[in-house]
Structures are given as structure tokens and as C-alpha cells.
Amino acid sequence: MIHAEISVYPIGTSETSVSFYIAKGIEAIQNIKEIKYEINPMGTVLESESIDKIYEASKTIMEVVHNLGVNRVEIILKIDSRKDKQVKMEDKVESIKKHFR
């Protein structure tokens, strides 16, 4: 299973808020098969069996933001690929939570 955290930074917009651009980027990947995603306050976590799907989603998000009139888009992509067992996003969170008091 491959997990990736993507953070998108539209640069040079007329507003300090970029939530509109982020929302449109995420909206564009909703129909990509084999991609699951979860947004959080600092980025979006992608989940797939295929690194190509992770790259496809990242490229789609970037292109959508550019197509909204943003001339510069910074993308930070962090990838975690695990082959020894299948671990879903929820499993990772639960693994951490079990150590809470």
C-alpha cells in the first residue's frame, strides 16, 4: 500500500486564502479509480496500490490549480510505500491512538 501526503501552495493569488484552489484540485481527483484520499488542515493524504495513481492525482491537482489562473503552484509530495503488509490510512491512525492514555 502506498500513502502520500500532498500539500498544494498556489502562489501569486489575489487572496490570502487558498481553500478554493485546494477544493477544486481535490474535487478533480474524486473520480480517479484506485485513489482514496483524506483532507486535513495541512494537506491531503492519498492512498493507492499504485504509485502511478498517486502521481496521476498529484498532476491532476496541479493542472487544475494552474487552469484556474494560478501561474505558479508549489507541490510538496511525501510518499510512504510499504510492501510487508497492507496498512490503510485508518490502520495507521488507530496504531497511534492505541498508545494514548
54, three cell numbers? 498517486
Segment 25-71, tens digit of pLDDT: 999 999 999 999 999 999 999 999 999 999 999 999 999 999 999 99
Question: 2-97 maps to which CATH number?
Answer: 3.30.70.930
**Whether pTM exceeds 0.75:** yes
| Torsion angle defined by CA atoms of residues 47, 4, 81 and 88, in that order, rounded to the nearest 10 degrees | -40
Q: Which residue, 93, 27, 15, is CA-closest to 65? A: 27
Q: Coil, strand, or helix at residue 77? A: strand
Q: Coil, strand, or helix at residue 75? A: strand
Name the strands in the sheet holding 72-81, side by side, starting at the edge strand that comes first in the sequence: 36-40, 43-48, 2-11, 72-81
Question: What does the domain layout of the chain look like in residue ranges?
Answer: 2-97
